[in-house]
């Protein structure tokens, strides 16, 4: 299975009914990708939502991420098994290293990922929040291919270097916080494009990511209305003028930023 063009993010969805309903709603609408993480504490809730949906769960690519405290060799193996149990799957479709921080050690973490693939517990491996130099090091160390690299990406955080690396090295870029938690609605250029297409700024941001090519946004949405709104962005096609206008936005803002983040350690 290739990575679908749109996924459902589930960050901070810890209410059992809210999470399961959102997942079931999205999957029944047509979403083919759901993203979770060990640190979200909702892997079992995602599994519940998949079980509630009318579609076959095997048609949906489910991704989870290793917590930063679980990146030693044995911990990777052990906690991946626990994630598989919580997700109620024989094999995890896509397993990421959530952050290259804390217990991350390329000499231990990366071989453990390959062991999981070789043993059949994980189908595909991914990385998340890596700097370009960290990503390049990991790609050069690994024999197994990297399927995806997940990073914050939206018009205020466009990630050109990581996008170029993804195209060059043959993996997908997965964009979390793709509407900048609503801040795209504060950008005049995005609002102008939205009015031109009778769309919302959120839909324009998602369509802009699609126009970049090789990018899969995973917007978090809990309400059925927002889940439908984001899905409708797949039908919105921006022209070259629209893309150039948004590319010209010079405002920069990270939603997820903290002192220990990889990009603050250089």
- Which residues fall within 8 angstroms of residue 68, CB to CB, at 6 or more apart? 39, 98, 99, 101, 102, 103, 104
Task: Copy the structure tokens of residue 219.
Answer: 């917007």
What is the enclosing helix (H) or strand (E) of 126?
Answer: strand 122-128
Among 44, 120, 115, 118, CA closest to 85: 44
Q: How many CB atoms lie within 10 A of CB 18?
A: 16
Handedness of CA 195, 214, 9, 149 (dihedral sign): negative
Task: Copy the structure tokens of residue 257.
Answer: 């930023």
What is the enclosing helix (H) or strand (E) of 141?
Answer: helix 132-141
Catalytic residues, by residue number, are: 40
């Amino acid at each position: 299975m290739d990575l679908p063009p749109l996924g459902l993010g589930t960050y901070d969805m810890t209410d059992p009914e809210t999470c399961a309903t959102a997942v079931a709603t999205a999957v029944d609408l047509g979403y083919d990708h759901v993203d979770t993480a060990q640190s979200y504490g909702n892997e079992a809730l995602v599994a519940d939502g998949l079980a509630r949906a009318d579609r076959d769960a095997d048609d949906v690519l489910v991704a989870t991420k290793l917590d930063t405290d679980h990146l030693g060799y044995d911990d990777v193996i052990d906690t991946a098994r626990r994630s598989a149990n919580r997700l109620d799957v024989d094999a995890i479709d896509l397993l990421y290293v959530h952050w290259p921080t804390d217990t991350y050690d390329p000499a231990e973490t990366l071989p453990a990922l390959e062991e999981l693939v070789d043993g059949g517990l994980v189908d595909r491996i991914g990385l998340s929040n890596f700097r370009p130099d960290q990503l390049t090091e990991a790609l050069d160390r690994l024999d197994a291919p990297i399927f995806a690299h997940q990073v914050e990406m939206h018009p205020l955080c466009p990630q050109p270097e990581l996008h170029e690396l993804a195209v060059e090295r043959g993996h997908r870029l997965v964009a979390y916080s793709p509407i900048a938690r609503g801040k795209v609605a504060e950008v005049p250029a995005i609002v102008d494009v939205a009015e031109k297409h009778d769309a919302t700024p959120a839909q324009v941001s998602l369509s802009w990511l699609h126009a970049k090519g090789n990018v899969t946004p995973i917007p978090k949405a809990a309400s059925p209305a927002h889940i439908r709104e984001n899905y409708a962005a797949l039908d919105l096609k921006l022209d070259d003028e629209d893309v150039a206008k948004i590319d010209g936005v010079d405002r920069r803002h990270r939603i997820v930023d903290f002192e220990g983040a990889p990009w603050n350690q250089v």
